[in-house]
Amino acid sequence: MEAYKRWVWRNRDYVHSLESLANGLTWLLPERFSESEIGPEAVTSILGIITSVNDHIIETTPTQIQMGHVPQPSSFPLSLFITLLKDLETLVEVAAQQFYGDEKKWNFIAITEATKVLLRLALFRNSGYKMLLHGGDNTNDGQGSNVLDSQHGNGLLPKPGQHQVPGNLKNYRGQNPLNLEGRALSALNRFGENARTVSEPTWLYRVQHQQAIIEPPTTVSEKPSLSSFLSEKGISGGLFLIGEMMFILRPLIYVLLIRKHGTRSWFPWLTSMTVDLISNGIISYITILRQNSNDFRLSNLEKHELKRRKLLWALYLMRDPFFSKYTRQRLDSTQKLLEPVPIVGLLTEKLVELIIGAQTRYTYMSGS
């Protein structure tokens, strides 16, 4: 394993190019949105896992590797666990639908979301109750943002979210290309979970991250326990915990309600949106209220995380029953309007077909 880590580190540019080529070829895989879609999704998931592991090696391996050794990490990072689970979740959905049907697939989706909730809660605790970045894909250690701020003096976005968008509309590792259906909809689907369209280039984040490793902070603050956190932050700290936990639990609540009421019911849709609005409202209120103190002064990465979460609200336009009742009608009318236009009409038709196909997958539009 050490030899592989050393090879990936020394050939990181070549590895990124090879991964981009391999993932790009998934666009050519046939049978999308068909009964045999499990094959293409399996290939996409495997490539996503390889990319995520390689990115983790490149981003976390200290420069001592150049001296001939690779230090062993003390534990398997929870953020990488979450990333790998996101790489697999669309494959789980497709396989469950194929073997167990449309109704029972929600049991497997609920298990997947519950696992992510447990991992995120553990990561939230281990980080000292700091805001999760990109749903836990990136570790918020409270140090990286300071390094970026001191070097550039401007608000940089966090690194592009791990991995894919649809299909893996989630794997938000910067070098991972988008999946055919969902990934082509990154602007629609992730708007921010991918955050690729508004973030700094991946290579720039990597340079900054590597420099943070080379020049680690001289002081390391001890992570507070829950009781000490609440004692120090008071009521504001309690509200912050509630808001962040609501954000973490929202996808699981949404899936459980869909499992019970179905995708045609407005109750899951409205409940999920309400939880999102309250969660973001609580955290925004606290940070504005306490902006003159150091209790909840957000780093630039955390400020961009709040913006990313707001951008994710656009996904409600793509979720049933809103999509079936309103969005699809708009898409159909736009397609008919542009159909007579040469080339543009054909491209619009294919794009609408792509969006409608991607919308059928929960994991493409979950924003989790």
In contact, 118 and 65? CB cutoff 8 Å: no
Burial of 224 (0-12, 13-18, 19+ CB in 10 A): middle
Helical ranges in the chain per DSSP H: 2-10, 12-25, 38-60, 78-126, 144-152, 186-189, 202-214, 226-261, 266-289, 300-311, 322, 328-338, 344-359, 362-365
Q: Which residues of the chain have pLDDT under 70?
A: 1, 7-12, 14-16, 18-36, 61-76, 141-221, 290-296
CA distance 89 to 6: 30
| Residue 80 φ/ψ region, left for φ over 0, alpha for ψ in the -120 to 50 degree band, beta for the rest | alpha
Tokens read off for 351: 């794009």
In contact, 181 and 358? CB cutoff 8 Å: yes
Model pLDDT, residue 21: 66
* pLDDT tens sequence across 88-119: 998 899 999 989 998 999 999 999 999 999 99
In contact, 169 and 208? CB cutoff 8 Å: no
Model pLDDT, residue 330: 93
Closest CA to 150 of 199, 217, 79: 217
CA distance 365 to 315: 6
Bridge partner residues of 138 (DSSP): 133
CA distance 213 to 234: 34
CA distance 38 to 234: 50
- Cα angle at 79 between 73 and 84, to 5 degrees? 100
In contact, 142 and 149? CB cutoff 8 Å: no
Model pLDDT, residue 293: 62
- Contacts (Cβ under 8 Å, ≥6 apart) of 22: 47
In contact, 268 and 110? CB cutoff 8 Å: no
In contact, 163 and 183? CB cutoff 8 Å: no
Model pLDDT, residue 318: 94
